[in-house]
Structure 1
């Protein structure tokens, strides 16, 4: 069963790497072609302004670096006789691999979008570092909670949640009330009309 899973991961990785290489070629050839055609038809410039051009270079270099890293970690290593020796990492996994795919897809979207719609599309590329910062913060938040529990620690539940009602019921049991009486009292304090009608009778 483990062997079947390894073969599935190896096949999926090879397909993903082939599609990724093809996508990099298509996007980086199609975008300049669209820009050139639109510069002939409309009054738009063929070359982007300085900031979008710089973002294109940075994000394209990052996506190529990510692709090469995916090839390094995801390609299955085969023996001399063609038998598979070691399966690479799963390229459909979570964590840093998922962020790498996000970087590649966002680069493709911004490259083609800026060629078709205009250079303002590159502002969407800021979503990648923002999402990375959010994931990093959610990873280190428990560590920060140990040192600053008042700011980053877990929040106390409100009284209207079921957990809060259970805490209230536990406190009522200490006073000598049953759970049912504690729940009725909590509903009455909230202003439940059914409880008020029972009390009038």
Structure 2
């Protein structure tokens, strides 16, 4: 990432640029360590066990596909996090790579790819089934993001639940008011009987 010596727009921009640089540096290092470690483990285990160093077709396709997907995410991270110079000559940060939403899901894709790459080298190709957690989690997040919109069209299913109305109670002589709560009814009865505590509370 290009290092700027110009003035930052504000302290927050400077912090985001610094955090993004660290995140991208760690990401490149992670790609190198995880993939080299997986390759070395496969070669070692193929020597001491009957497992092949090359994955079978479906796990191989999944590994290549997830690796290409992770590289695409990395390039996208570089694109959106690159600082830009505004019209005032100050450096403005790109997107915060520690943010929520799509950026968070993209990090999940990378981490799950690393887990499956290293885990399949150690424990077997069944680890790639964990990749199903990504669309499941994405669907869960999308549902709760769209839930307010669904509540507008289907309020009976997705709308907010109304609170229960207060319990009502009538006095012994049946003069209680409809919708009056128990506490209000008791206070009114005490006031009618001349209870000084109720009168002081009203005062």
TM superposition score normalised by structure 2: 0.75
Which residue does 2:77 correspond to in 1?
70
Q: Which moves more between the two structures, 24-33 or 91-100?
A: 24-33
The answer to which of 110-119 and 145-154 deviates more is: 145-154
Q: Which residue of 2 aligns with 1:180?
A: 183
Contact 1:35 1:46 survives alignment (8 Å): yes
| Structure 1 alignment gaps of length 5 or more | 157-162, 184-201
Return the alpha-carbon distance in structure 1 between the equivalents of residues 74 and 122 of structure 2: 25
Q: Does 1:119 pair with 2:117?
A: no
Residues of 2 paired with 1:2 and 1:44: CA distance?
A: 56
The match for 1:41 among 48, 61, 67 is: 48
What is the alpha-carbon distance in structure 1 between the residues aligned to residue 185 and residue 53 of structure 2?
73
1:108 paired with 2:142, answer no
| Partner SS state of residue 60, structure 2 | helix
For structure 2, which runs of at least 5 residues remain unmatched after alignment? 1-7, 170-175, 187-203
Q: Write the distance in 1 (CA, Å) between the matches of 2:61 and 2:102.
A: 24
**Counterpart check, 1:138 vs 2:144:** yes
- Aligned residue number for residue 168 of structure 1: 166
The separation in 2 between residues aligned to 1:100 and 1:112, in whole angstroms, is: 19
Greater helix share, 1 or 2? 1
> Whose Rg is larger?
2
Residue 27 (structure 2) aligns with:
20
**Counterpart among 80, 85, 93 of residue 87 in structure 1:** 93
Q: Is the CA contact (8 Å cut-off) linking 1:76 and 1:84 kept in structure 2?
A: no
Cα gap change, 1:108/1:182 in structure 2, threshold over 3 Å: closer, same or farther? farther
Q: Which moved more, 1:123-132 or 1:135-144?
A: 135-144
1:51 and 1:57 map into 2 onto residues whose CA distance is 10
Cα contact 1:146–1:153 (8 A) shared by 2: yes
Contact 1:48 1:119 survives alignment (8 Å): yes
Of 43-52 and 88-97, more deviation after overlay is shown by 43-52
> CA 1:133–1:174 in structure 2 vs 1: closer, same or farther (change >3 Å)?
farther
Question: Using the alignment, how far apart are the partners of 2:42 and 2:140 within structure 1?
Answer: 34
Note if contact 1:14-1:75 (Cα within 8 Å) is conserved in structure 2: no
CA RMSD of aligned residues (A): 2.5
Match of 1:98 in 2: 104
| C-alpha spacing 1:176/1:96, structure 2 compared with 1 (3 Å) | closer
